[in-house]
């Protein structure tokens, strides 16, 4: 059975093993060095203190993960969040990323996030098509923003409204403050979308 669940700090090793090829072999991430296991575990713990971090697994095997992070640090940006999603290479294009990312977006909506951002190395036709399919639109293109694997890469920012952007918005709620029943309901909806 395939399921989506909340990540645990103990998942860090499996997630790092999935992430490492992206660091070493692609420009999908602009990191040059694979993070140390302790550092990656700290990232998971730090993220979960404010945002969701989800794991996609089948029969106990990790197939992917998605998480949100702070878009910008100033107070006025608190209703925006940036998303990241990584799938095992053999799972990409299988349709499993869509329910994983939709689940993340629904949890963010429950937190009061009103705009979800994707920061994509450009060109990356698969990621761009994935985001467009989910309703994201282009917000900006930053030419030659990063250098990796012997070349310059652009950065494409895409955005998706998650709710009405009226003033004043309801206060942002850190992920741990969401009611357990709300989180459980969102995860159950994601399970239905997978099976």
Please state the three-class secondary structure of 20-32 as a single string.
HHHHHHCCCCCCC
pLDDT at 194: 83
- pLDDT per position in the chain (195 positions), as tens? 899 999 999 999 999 999 999 999 999 999 999 999 999 999 999 999 999 999 999 998 999 999 999 999 999 999 999 999 999 988 887 789 999 999 999 999 999 999 999 999 999 999 999 999 999 999 999 999 999 999 999 999 999 999 888 778 989 999 999 999 999 999 999 988 887
Task: Give the pair of three-digit tokens for residue 17.
Answer: 């093993």
Q: What is the pLDDT of residues 13-28, one digit of tens each?
A: 999 999 999 999 999 9
Cis previous bond, 168, omega within 30:
yes
Nearest to 92 by CA among 122, 40, 129, 67: 129
Nearest to 182 by CA among 106, 117, 118: 106
């Amino acid at each position: 059975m395939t399921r989506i669940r909340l990540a645990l700090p103990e998942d860090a090793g499996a997630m790092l093993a999935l992430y490492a090829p992206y660091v070493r072999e692609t420009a999908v991430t602009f990191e040059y060095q694979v993070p140390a296991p302790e550092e990656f575990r700290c990232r998971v713990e730090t993220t979960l203190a404010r945002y969701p971090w989800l794991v996609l697994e089948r029969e106990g095997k990790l197939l992917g993960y998605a998480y949100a992070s702070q878009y910008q640090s100033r107070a006025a940006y608190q209703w925006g969040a940036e998303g990241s999603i990584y799938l095992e290479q053999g799972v990409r294009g299988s349709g499993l990323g869509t329910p994983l990312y939709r689940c993340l977006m629904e949890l963010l909506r429950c937190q009061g996030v009103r705009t979800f951002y994707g920061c994509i190395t450009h060109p990356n036709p698969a990621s761009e098509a994935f985001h467009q399919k989910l309703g994201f639109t282009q917000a900006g293109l930053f030419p030659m923003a990063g250098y990796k694997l012997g070349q310059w890469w652009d950065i494409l920012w895409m955005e998706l409204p998650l709710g009405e952007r009226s003033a004043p918005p309801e206060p942002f709620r850190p992920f741990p403050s969401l009611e357990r029943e709300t989180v459980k309901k969102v995860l159950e909806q994601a399970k239905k979308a997978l099976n």
